[in-house]
Amino acid sequence: MLTTKHTQLIKQEAKRLGFEFCGISKAEFLEEEAPRLEKWLDKGMHGKMEYMENHFDKRLDPRLLVEGARSVVSLLYNYYPEQTQNPEAPKISKYAYGKDYHEVIKEKLKEFLNILKEKIGDVNGRAFVDSAPVLDKAWAKKSGIGWIGKNANLINKDRGSFFFIAELIIDIDLEYDGPIKDYCGTCTRCIDACPTEAIVEPFVVDGSKCISYFTIELKDTIPNEFKNKFNDWAFGCDVCQDVCPWNKFSMPHSEPQFNNKTGLLDYSSKDWNEITEEVFGNVFKNSPVKRTKYKGLKRNLEFIRKR
């Protein structure tokens, strides 16, 4: 009875806090993911993201992150924008139009945990949003709120893939959901459209060839072999999501903090290419784009400008 009551409470609160989908899994070792992750790392597909080599065991077992963990609550928060960029300007990923999602969603997760402690009692847990060794897509898949597509993104049948994934790992038993089937079928649009051929086979992305990796993670010079392949992406890349048929079901988000309020989306190519460090600091103060720093953004702009 208590597990049912607690499960219902969690799903109700998730909806109230603005999470569009919520699924729950038993906290246990991710047996299927272990060999996949090991193979991906052994092939060097993480490029220079050395942090991916750390905490291998913790990535696969949530009980090593939260003592006594019993359940993983997976949550999806929509970021698909109604706003669009100036089509002639360098492009940034849709998730970066507004305020940094880490800050927005962490506040919601903090409130979520506080509510659970208030209404259930002694609940121990941690909240995660893309900032710790948690295989968020694997847990979301396990909980049935989507399947992992051929572009390695989580896809939801009702609303596509433009979502942030977050988790609560908690030490109470709940009613667990199960995975759903894969609905990619024979479609290969994401593989065919990838400008740098980073999707090396269905469901496997070589991160070291991905435009998002080059424009955000890589701190060195971008290899010349990828010149003229970026399709004007200056920060991140949405190509494999934009071509996915399931994203015809995407609906504009309702999170005001994800709306752009700096005029960035109206910037022309000239505005972008003449951006100063001071303007960068003001425009991207609370944006995910600040992660690449001014020097990194200028490098990216220079790289896509050269023909």
The yes-or-no answer on residue 130 being catalytic is yes
pTM: 0.96
| Exposed / middle / buried, residue 261 (Cβ in 10 Å: 0-12, 13-18, 19+) | exposed
What are the tens digits of pLDDT across the range 26-53? 999 999 999 999 999 999 999 999 989 8
Choosing from 57, 130, 158, 266, the catalytic residue is: 130
Question: What pLDDT sits at residue 125?
Answer: 96
pLDDT at 188 over 70: yes
Question: What pLDDT sits at residue 60?
Answer: 95
Close Cβ partners of 71 (under 8 Å, ≥ 6 residues apart): 24, 25, 26, 27, 169, 170, 171, 172, 173, 174, 176
What is the average per-residue pLDDT within 78-102? 97
Q: Describe the crossing of helices 2-16 and 101-119 by its angle, rounded to 10 degrees.
A: 150
Among the ranges given (34-43, 49-58, 206-215), the one the predictor scored with the smallest mean pLDDT = 49-58
CA gap 128, 114 in Å, rounded: 15
pLDDT at 223 over 90: yes
Question: What pLDDT sits at residue 106?
Answer: 96
What are the tens digits of pLDDT across the range 254-265? 999 999 999 999
pLDDT-derived band at 307, boundaries 50, 70, 90:
low
Domain that holds residue 104: 1-307
Question: What pLDDT sits at residue 131?
Answer: 77
Q: What is the mean pLDDT of the chain?
A: 96
pLDDT-derived band at 97, boundaries 50, 70, 90:
very high
Residue type for position 58 = K
Long-range CB pairs of 2-11 (<8 Å, 24+ gap) are 3/173, 3/174, 3/175, 4/175, 6/120, 6/172, 6/174, 7/174, 7/175, 9/116, 9/119, 9/120, 10/73, 10/116, 10/174
pLDDT at 306 over 70: no
What is the average per-residue pLDDT within 182-198? 98
pLDDT at 278 over 80: yes
Question: What pLDDT sits at residue 305?
Answer: 87
What is the average per-residue pLDDT within 84-112? 97
If one counts the domains in the chain, the total is 1
